[in-house]
């Protein structure tokens, strides 16, 4: 392929349109162009040459405004196309004739057929994909792409940890990639830990981030609408402050919608992202390289992170559980805003002074609830799957333990669920109907808004208190710790409810 260095004129967010029929692919293209000017057409997803011909005929008639990237990825590079390199070249050429001004060819096709000529009137992306086992030296792959200096290089690599993903996206930096030419290197981490790091590749200089129009077509890909509207990825740059939530179930978290809405409303150059963190040590090693300003902590790290911090405020030390970390001059400071969130959610709904409360759970969220309820004058009984954990929390918080077999014979003023049981897609409840012997039930789970426990309680005529109010209250406190500004609390609640309703559709 001859050298053809060109100036890049692409929106930084590339919508990925992939469907089996021409009609469905056309629908996705129109949908994508409402959100971005750059769209990748996965022609290899179309189920036959006939569907490809139909789609390209439609495309030629449309004269769409935007940057269309034709891709017909062969199986050897993780695509669905079964044909030869010559057939791939013909399809890409036809796509250019139909209006595409970019085409993506995998490096395997170029290495297999050295005569793969450049397509006149279009600019090339040379892509190198490595699925499966993580690559320990992505720089070696980068050097392979640099053999094609006239093309925009794309390096997509499976990453089993955040450190691997950060190492990959930093290759987009001009100083590290050894480039001064304008075409650059697109870096694409793949895998469960990849979504947040994919977006942050833009901060390192990657020209594009890929986001699916419909369902994700690659591991770690985010949805286009979320990428554009919630994360505002097109605005991410070197000065963008990064915050996030860490845990093992963050993909459906409502916190990004809530915090990003607040950043946008206040005009702050900041983004809040979900970080899947199975290994806490792995995450803590990328806090500094990513320049995180702070993060929210959820299951299962609220207690495990405490000894890893540089400092904790008095309340967090007392609870031995942290749900909020602020990074100041490289030092990690821990706080607990769940405590205030519990009290805020119950304020004006249940009288806590002298109330008998059954608290289900003994993890990080339950610790905040036990101390908050006890400090408010309630008499707390703790029921947990692991009796020893319940006993330790009871001793620390001045509470007592409860045995499951005794629950039906006791009565309470309030039942609080502080376990993840009932969080979508889980459809179970932490208690049985006959164990709901209290006039009010508070479920700290907020997804769905009507959890299995709350639906059961409502059917028995009990007062139901959603975890949404606690979510917003603790989030407002977090946001103010991170920014030092007054949070737009009402807007954050509206954003949270909107995200929950959208999720339920």
pLDDT at position 112, please?
78
Residue 154 appears among annotated catalytic residues: no
* 249 falls within a domain: no
Mean pLDDT of 229-245: 95
CA 110 from chain centre, in angstroms, equals 34
**Torsion sign, CA atoms 256, 259, 261, 266:** negative
What pLDDT shows up at residue 1? 43
Range 456-462, long-range pairs (CB < 8 A, 24+ positions): 456/429, 456/431, 459/433, 460/433, 460/436, 462/436, 462/438
Q: Are residues 318 and 461 in the same domain?
A: no
Residue 149 lies in a domain: yes
Contact assessment for residue 429 and residue 452, using Cβ atoms and an 8 Å cutoff: yes
Q: What count of Cα atoms within 13 Å lies in the side-chain half-sphere of residue 484?
A: 3
Encode pLDDT of 450-485 as tens digits. 999 999 999 999 999 999 999 999 999 999 999 999
Mean pLDDT on 337-361: 97
* pLDDT at residue number 146: 83
Q: What is the mean pLDDT of the chain?
A: 92
Q: How many angstroms separate the CA atoms of 198 and 200, rounded?
A: 6
Banded model confidence at residue 505, pLDDT cuts 50, 70, 90: low
Between strands 379-383 and 356-360, the pairing is parallel
Q: How many residues are recorded in the chain?
A: 505
Structure tokens at 200: 């942050």
CATH code at position 305: 3.40.50.10860
Counting runs of H as helices and runs of E as strands, what totals does the chain give?
A: 19, 21
* Extended beta strands in 384-443, E state: 400-401, 414-417, 440-443
243 within a domain of the structure (yes/no):
no
Q: How far apart are the first and last CA of the chain?
A: 48
Q: Of the residues 3, 7, 252, 302, which is catalytic?
A: 302
Do both 357 and 277 map to the same domain? no
Interior angle at CA 143, CA 141 and CA 144, nearest 5: 65
Regarding whether 496 and 430 lie in a shared domain, the answer is no
Residue 182 has pLDDT above 60, yes or no: no
Does residue 316 sit in the same domain as residue 355?
Answer: no
Alpha carbon distance 138, 154 (integer Å) = 12
Give the tokens for residue 35.
Answer: 């959100």
E strand or H helix that includes residue 41: strand 38-42
CATH number of domain containing 114: 3.20.20.70
Examine the domain organization and report whether 447 and 498 are in the same domain.
Answer: no
Q: Which of 139, 79, 85 is nearest to 117 (CA)?
A: 85
* pLDDT at residue 174, rounded to an integer: 65
Residue 250 lies in a domain: no
Indicate whether 496 and 424 sit together in one domain. no
Report the SS3 class of residue 25: helix
- Confirm if 130 and 159 have CB atoms less than 8 A apart: no
Q: How far apart are CA 352 and CA 416, in angstroms?
A: 12
Does residue 283 belong to any structural domain of this protein?
yes
Unique residue bearing structure tokens 């008998």: 356
The pLDDT of residue 433 is 95
* 125 and 33 both lie in a single domain: yes
C-alpha 333: how far from chain center: 23
pLDDT for 401-460, tens place per residue?
999 999 999 999 999 999 999 998 899 999 999 999 999 999 999 999 999 999 999 999
495 and 452 within one domain? no
Residue-range definition of the domain harbouring residue 377: 350-466
pLDDT, tens digit (0-9, with 9 covering 90-100), for 25-50: 999 999 999 999 999 999 999 999 99
Check which CATH number belongs to the domain holding 403 and give it. Answer: 3.40.50.720
- Is this model's pTM higher than 0.85 or not? yes
Whole-number Å distance between alpha carbons of 231 and 273 = 8
Same domain, 315 and 177: no
Residue 179 has pLDDT above 60, yes or no: no
User: What distance in Å separates the CA atoms of residue 169 and residue 144, rounded to the nearest whole number?
Assistant: 16
Q: Which of 238, 264, 294 is the last residue of a domain?
A: 238
- Same domain membership, residue 224 and residue 131: yes
Would you say residue 248 lies in a domain? no
Task: Please tell me the distance from the alpha carbon of residue 141 to that of residue 147, in angstroms, as a whole number.
Answer: 11
**411 plus 303 within the same structural domain:** no
Bridge partners, 414 (sequence order) = 357
pLDDT in tens, 67-126: 999 999 998 888 999 999 999 999 999 999 999 999 999 998 998 777 778 899 999 999
Does 136 have pLDDT greater than 80? no
Confidence of residue 266 (pLDDT cuts 50, 70, 90): very high
Same domain assignment for residues 192 and 318 = no
**Inside any domain, residue 245:** no
Give CA angle at 424 (505, 489), nearest 5°. 75
Distance CA(72)–CA(89), nearest Å, equals 9
The H or E element spanning position 185 is strand 185-190
Question: How many distinct structural domains can be found in the chain?
Answer: 3
Q: What average pLDDT score do residues 131-141 get?
A: 79
Query: Is 171 a member of any domain?
Result: yes
């Amino acid at each position: 392929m001859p050298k053809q260095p060109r100036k890049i004129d692409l929106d930084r967010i590339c919508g990925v349109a992939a469907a089996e029929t021409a009609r469905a692919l056309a629908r996705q293209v129109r949908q994508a162009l409402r959100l971005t000017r750059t769209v990748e057409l996965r022609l290899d997803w179309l189920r036959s040459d006939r569907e490809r011909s139909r789609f390209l005929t439609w495309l030629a008639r449309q004269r769409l405004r935007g940057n269309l990237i034709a891709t017909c990825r062969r199986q050897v590079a993780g695509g669905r196309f079964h044909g030869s390199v010559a057939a791939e070249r013909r399809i890409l050429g036809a796509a250019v004739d139909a209006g595409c001004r970019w085409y993506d060819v995998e490096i395997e096709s170029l290495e297999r057929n050295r005569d793969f000529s450049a397509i006149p009137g279009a600019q090339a992306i040379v892509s190198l994909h490595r699925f499966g086992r993580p690559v320990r030296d992505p720089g070696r792959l980068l050097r392979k792409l640099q053999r094609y200096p006239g093309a925009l290089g794309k390096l997509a690599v499976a990453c089993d940890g955040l450190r691997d993903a950060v190492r990959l996206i930093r290759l987009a930096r001009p100083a590290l990639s050894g480039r001064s030419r304008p075409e650059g290197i697109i870096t694409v981490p793949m895998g469960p830990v990849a979504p947040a790091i994919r977006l942050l590749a833009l901060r390192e200089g990657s020209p594009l981030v890929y986001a699916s129009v419909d369902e994700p077509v690659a591991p770690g890909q985010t949805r286009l609408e979320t990428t554009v509207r919630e994360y505002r990825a097109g605005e991410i740059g070197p000065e963008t402050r990064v915050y996030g939530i860490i845990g093992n179930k963050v993909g459906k978290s409502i916190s990004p919608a809530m915090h990003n809405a607040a950043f946008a409303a206040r005009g702050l150059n900041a983004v809040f992202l979900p970080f899947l963190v199975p290994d806490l040590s792995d995450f803590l090693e990328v806090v500094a390289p990513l320049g995180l300003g702070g993060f929210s902590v959820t299951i299962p790290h609220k207690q495990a992170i405490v000894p890893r911090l540089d400092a904790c405020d008095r309340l967090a030390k007392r609870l031995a559980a942290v749900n909020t970390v602020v990074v100041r001059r490289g030092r990690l400071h821990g706080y607990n805003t769940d405590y205030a969130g519990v009290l805020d959610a119950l304020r004006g709904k249940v009288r806590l002074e002298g109330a008998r409360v059954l608290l289900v759970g003994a993890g990080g969220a339950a610790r905040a609830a036990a101390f908050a309820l006890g400090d408010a004058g309630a008499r707390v009984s703790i029921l947990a799957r692991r009796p020893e954990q319940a006993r330790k929390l009871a001793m620390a918080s001045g509470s007592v333990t409860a045995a499951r077999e005794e629950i039906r014979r006791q009565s309470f003023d309030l039942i609080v669920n502080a376990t993840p049981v009932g969080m979508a897609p889980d459809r179970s409840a932490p208690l049985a109907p006959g164990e709901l012997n209290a006039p009010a039930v508070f479920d700290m789970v907020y997804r769905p808004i009507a959890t299995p426990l709350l639906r059961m309680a409502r059917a028995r005529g009990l007062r139901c208190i959603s975890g949404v109010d606690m979510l917003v209250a603790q989030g407002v406190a977090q946001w103010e710790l991170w920014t030092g500004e007054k949070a737009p609390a009402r807007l954050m609640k509206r954003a949270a409810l909107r995200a929950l309703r959208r999720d339920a559709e």
